[in-house]
A and B are shown apart, each in its own frame.
Chain A
């Protein structure tokens, strides 16, 4: 089994727990086997030491040196187009879809129900004709 996502300086990670849950941050330095220093200057996460249990690694990295400060990280994110790459990832899309579904109003849910029924009607008719 090959590992592809490593804890390293520059690794972009998603915070899973706490008040910054759901936000992205970059690993800036590693403290020990359990904790690292992260900074989410692009996403509103304060620079802090966080345990690995509270973060999930993403596929994205950005080019920064160990202990880089906010301005450097911001520039590296921009250069590496991290925000755009994240938005394109299926992980981000799934989160967005879930959030959108949670925000549907009663009327929206009705329209979705009607659309699903219409779709399944078309599919059923096609299957029947095959």
Chain B
């Protein structure tokens, strides 16, 4: 006589043994109790920034108004975006947020330990104010383009950060010209073979 399989233990063990042996469980709970769904909150991990990008890395911007220009990465913000500055006097790039995906990290590093970025300069500082939703036709055809106004706060922060940064940039020969120069690919360049 073949020995019949006996599932002992509670419902969890019964389910386990079913999965393991492919036989039906001998123990069923009387009522179907709904199992609470697992919470999906907090499943997103913090953005992992490439190891080659650290505060002080000279970075080549690949898209946007300043594509091709080189800027200094000052810090990595909480959202995972990089805080970058030209310095403004050197190449016109202000304090700006940039996504690491649109950036080539070069191996040139600058010592930014003496550059104090104000604590107020964070993701909410750069967050765009939500438009009021009045996208009427008149506004669309309104030919008067209002010039973008840079707030005094931004100018002040830029000045304070760049004051220290420019001193550091001036120390390294040719770095200032390098930051103002634009990167581009020429005929015999093979970017996958180039060391940045």
Contacts and interface: CB of A to CB of B under 8 A. Distances in A.
B79 interface: no
A105 B109 CA distance: 11
B160 interface: no
B132 to A, nearest CB: 44
Q: By DSSP majority rule, is chain B's interface helix, strand, loop, or mixed?
A: mixed
B107 to A, nearest CB: 5
B165 interface: no
Interface stretch (A29-37, A59-67, A106-114): A106-114
Contacts of B194: 106
Give chain B's interface residue range (CB within 8 Å of chain A).
Answer: 10 to 19
Nearest to A103: B195
Interface residues of A, number: 9
Contact of B107 (A102, A106, A110, A114): A106
B102 interface: no
A107 B58 CA distance: 9
Contacts of A114: 174, 177
B196 A105 contact: yes
A105 B181 contact: no
Nearest to B105: A106
Interface in A50-84: none
22 contacts: A102-B193, A102-B195, A104-B195, A105-B106, A105-B107, A105-B196, A106-B60, A106-B70, A106-B104, A106-B107, A106-B183, A106-B194, A107-B58, A107-B106, A107-B107, A107-B174, A110-B174, A110-B178, A110-B181, A111-B174, A114-B174, A114-B177
- 3 A-B pairs closest in CB distance: A107-B108, A106-B106, A105-B107
